[in-house]
Each structure stands twice: as structure tokens, then as C-alpha cells.
Structure 1
Amino acid sequence: MHSRLFHRFCAPLLSSALLLVSLNLQANTAELYQVSGMHQHQEHFQQALQKAQQRYANQLPANVYQTLVRQSNQRFEPNAMHDRAQGRLAVSLDPNTHQQALGFYQSTLGRKVVQLETSATAPTNVAAMQAGLPPQTLSPERQALLGRLGNSLPALDLGVEVSMALANLATQSANDFLGGLMQIPDGLVNSRRENLRSQMQPNLGETLAYVYRDLSDAELGQYASWSESNAGRQFYRAVEAAVRDALNP
């Protein structure tokens, strides 16, 4: 009797409560995804993808190029990438970490940081930085702050993942077009990743100095402290996982 009453009256209420909690988590995650700059970074990736596709147009046979465009558009479909990233972010953050991250990115400093970071990933600015960064004179104190950021932010790992995703387009398309005759061993792919890391690592400090050049030493110190906090570390681990899921359906 009691069991029947529970299922008749309480179970629907419980289901409704769980649905409301789920919807609230999704809404909060969508907000964090926006204010932290992740949405804008994904948009910049789409622009870089289009440029990569255009670059391959004159380098590949027509059939291989058409396969490349079709498969890359499918793999990197914008809405699906956003959904995968937000889904991973939602399951990777506990409520307390989520709230602290949201609080940081809604702060004056957090908004300034996001503006600088999203500007840096815009394709035009990426191209400008690749052409060479202007020389900067840094105090030992600022160098130390940038070193702290370099150790805590996932900038290098994310750069490697995005570069690998774009660089692998032609290889994957050729593999599929030729029925697997050009399959590349996993060990070689991993060596390419390590090669990219070794190429990018020496430039990390100089790049961070340029990206955050408009932050004062005090602001840079506050950002470093946030990135080193428990919530900051958990958030950036979640960001790494979200980016990997977005890039690798």
C-alpha cells in the first residue's frame, strides 16, 4: 500500500525535482561556458578550421580535399562541439568549484582576463604572433608571476590539442579515401604531439607575457593565485577535458 502511494504521488514529484536540478545545472554551465570565454574560443577554432581547409585546397587532390572538407565539417560541427564541451564541463565540476569559477569570471579581473585571452585566439592575432612577438623588458617579479601562470594554466596542452586537430585533417582524409592504406601508427601520432610540445614550450613565457601585457603586476598576481587555488586547478582540468571532448567526438 505504502509503496503504491509512493509511486503514485512521490515518484512524479521526485522526477520533477531532479529535472529542475538538471536544468539548473545546464543553465549554470552554459553561463560559465560563456563568461569564461570558452564559447568564443570555440568560435575562433571554427575560423581557424576554415582557413586550414582553404589552405589544403591547393595542396591536395580534389577527391581527397572533398573528403577532408566533408569529414572535418562533420567532426567539428559547431553546435555539436559546443554541446560536447558543455556536457563535459557540467559533469567535471562540483557545485562549489563551479560557483567559484563563475564568481571569478564575473569579476572585473575575470572579465579583463577573458577579453585578453579571447583576443589572443582570434585568427588574425594568432597569425600576428606567429610572425614574431615584439621584444618586452620584464622585471624579475613579473617573470616570476608569468612562470606561475605557465605552470598552472593549460595553455600549452590546449595549444597542442588544437594544433593536432588541425594538422591531422589531411592525414585522416587521405586514410579514409585510400581505404586505410595510409594509416599512421599511434606511436607516430604521439611523437608528433611531443614534437609540438617541444616546439611550443620555449615560447610559452614570451607568449604569456604578450597576451597578458595589459594586466598590472597586482592583477597578474591575483590571476596566478586563482589559477593555483583548488577551484582554479579543478576548473582548468575540466577545461582540458572539455576541449578534448569537443575536438574528439
Structure 2
Amino acid sequence: MRALLACVLLCFSLASFADIHEELYETAGWTEQRANFADALTAAQQRYQETLPPAVFQALVTNSNRRFASHAIDQRALRALRENLQEPQPALAFFQSPLGRKIVSAEVLAARREQLARHSGGLPRMDAGSNRQLLIRHLAHAIPASEAGAEVSLALAGVAADSLSQMMPGLLGGGQAQSLLGTQRQRMIEQIDADLDNTLLYVYRDLSDAELEQFLQFAQSDAGQAYYQAALQALRAGLAVGMSSSDLQPQQGI
């Protein structure tokens, strides 16, 4: 009986541990940001429709709908989050706090379709005191915002390159299209870095200096660094950055 009870308790413990990652995924806004990405993908498809031949455009739509299906993104991202974040509880506790929820709301709002359209010509310049500027500068070093932005850009560009390579395999075959995109990662990071402080000032404009300092303390902590590094890996996996269509396998249950 003791052995059976221990086995049952262990199973419940393992199930709870697995659920923490999924709860963190929801609480930290991943599902909402995935919806924001879907809107950005639709906008990108519409832009390509005006410039690509019909056959190439249809290949792009087919590939992107397969690559970026909501369930497939969630499966890949959650799997990577589980693999790369051994202790999810500290991050979950932070994002469940009032400050954490405020941060997630600000991030989700900033990436919505109407917000991106409103600021398509650039974000307004944000005025900030020296203390707030210093907090933002430290935050820019603590969270991989530039790297995440580059991954999203590479994902959107990658599906177009992948579709083109399918139509003209002799031109961009053997994964060459994805390799070429990979060489652009650092350039994209540098471009985002150039205005990152103003971007963060805008995104977190409703946080007080005291709240920004609390956010920074979490981001710089061991738990925060572990979460953000795992989150970057999860983002890359979820969006299948660097993977060709032939690399994508049917996803199983999470």
C-alpha cells in the first residue's frame, strides 16, 4: 500500500510539474502574443500578395499556414520551455503578481495589430528622467528584447524564402534560404538595439519608476535570467526559425 501511495503521489507531482510550464505559458502572455503574431503574419501575406506571382504567393500562404498553425506553435514553444527551464515556479509567481500582470498587459497591448499600424512610422520619442533612463538601460541588457524581435522578423522572412526555394529549388536548395536568413540575425539585432531604450520606455510607460525597479530586479535575478533565456529558445522553436518546411514534423500532444 505504501508503495502504491508513493507511486500515486509521484504521478501527481510529475503532472503538477508539467502543468506549471503550461500555466506559465498562459500567464506570461504567450497565447496572446501568438495571436498578435498571427495578425502580423496576415499583414505580411497581404504585402507579399502585391509583389509575388500567384503561384509563389499560394505556396507562401500554404507554407505559412502549416508552419504557424496555432497548435503547432504552442507545441514547439512549450516543449522548448520545458526543456530549457528547469524551475518555472519563480517566474510563474512573478507573472502572477499584480506587477507581473501589468507587465504582460503592457507587452501584449504594444504588439497588437492596431498599435503596430498606429506607429508604423516609428514610436513617439519618450521623455524620461535620468533615473528612469538608467533603469531602462539596465532592463535592455537584462531581457533579450532585441533578440526576440530579430527572431520574429526572421520567422516572417523565412517562410517567404522557404516558399521561394520550393518553387525554384535549384536557386535556393539544400536549406540555403534558411542559412542566408540566419546571417541576418545580428544585423537585425543591431537595428533593434539602436532604438531599444525608447521602445522599452514606450512599452512600459505606465509603470512607475518603483515598478520598473522591481521588474529589473526580477529580470536580473538568476530566476529571471533562466526564464528569459528559456523564453528566447521557446520563441525560436515556436516560430520554427531556421527550419525548412521539410524539417517540420507533424506535432504530437504537448
TM-score surpassing 0.5?
A: yes
Whether 2:124 is the aligned partner of 1:134: answer: yes
CA distance in 1: counterparts of 2:6 and 2:53, whole angstroms: 58
- Percent identity for Structure 1 against Structure 2: 37
Q: Which residue of 1 aligns with 2:251?
A: none
SS in 1 for 2:195: helix
Which structure shows the higher helix fraction? 1
CA distance in 2: counterparts of 1:151 and 1:240, whole angstroms: 14
Structure 2 segments unaligned to the other structure (5+ residues)? 241-247, 249-254
> Which 10-residue stretch deviates more, 113-122 or 18-27?
18-27
> Once superposed, what is the RMSD of the aligned Cα atoms?
2.1
1:157 to 147, 155, 168: 147
1:197 to 189, 192, 197: 189
2:171 to 181, 185, 189: 181
Q: Which residue of 2 aligns with 1:220?
A: 212
Q: Which residue of 2 aligns with 1:240?
A: 232
Structure 1 segments unaligned to the other structure (5+ residues)? 1-8
CA distance in 1: counterparts of 2:239 and 2:10, whole angstroms: 30
CA distance in 1: counterparts of 2:21 and 2:211, whole angstroms: 26
Q: How many residues align?
A: 239
* Deviation digits for residues 50-100 of structure 1 (CA, Å, limit 9, x no counterpart): 1111211121111111111111111111101111111221232223xx111
CA distance in 2: counterparts of 1:14 and 1:64, whole angstroms: 58
Q: Which residue of 2 aligns with 1:57?
A: 49
SS in 2 for 1:214: coil
Cα distance change of structure 1 residues 134 and 23 upon mapping to structure 2, 3 Å threshold? same
Q: Where does structure 1 differ by over 6 angstroms across 4 or more consecutive aligned residues?
A: 12-15
Contact map agreement 1:120 1:211 (CA 8 A) in 2: yes
Contact map agreement 1:25 1:90 (CA 8 A) in 2: no
Deviation at 1:186, TM superposition (A): 6.3
CA distance in 1: counterparts of 2:82 and 2:6, whole angstroms: 21
Whether 2:71 is the aligned partner of 1:72: answer: no
CA distance in 2: counterparts of 1:77 and 1:147, whole angstroms: 35
Give the letter aligned to residue 176 of structure 1: Q
* Deviation digits for residues 150-197 of structure 1 (CA, Å, limit 9, x no counterpart): 001111100000001102222211101112423446664333222212
Q: Which residue of 1 aligns with 2:107?
A: 117
Contact map agreement 2:165 2:172 (CA 8 A) in 1: yes
TM-score normalised per structure 1: 0.88
Deviation at 1:149, TM superposition (A): 0.6
* Deviation digits for residues 188-239 of structure 1 (CA, Å, limit 9, x no counterpart): 4333222212221111011001001111000001101110000000000110
TM-score normalised per structure 2: 0.87
Contact map agreement 2:60 2:160 (CA 8 A) in 1: yes
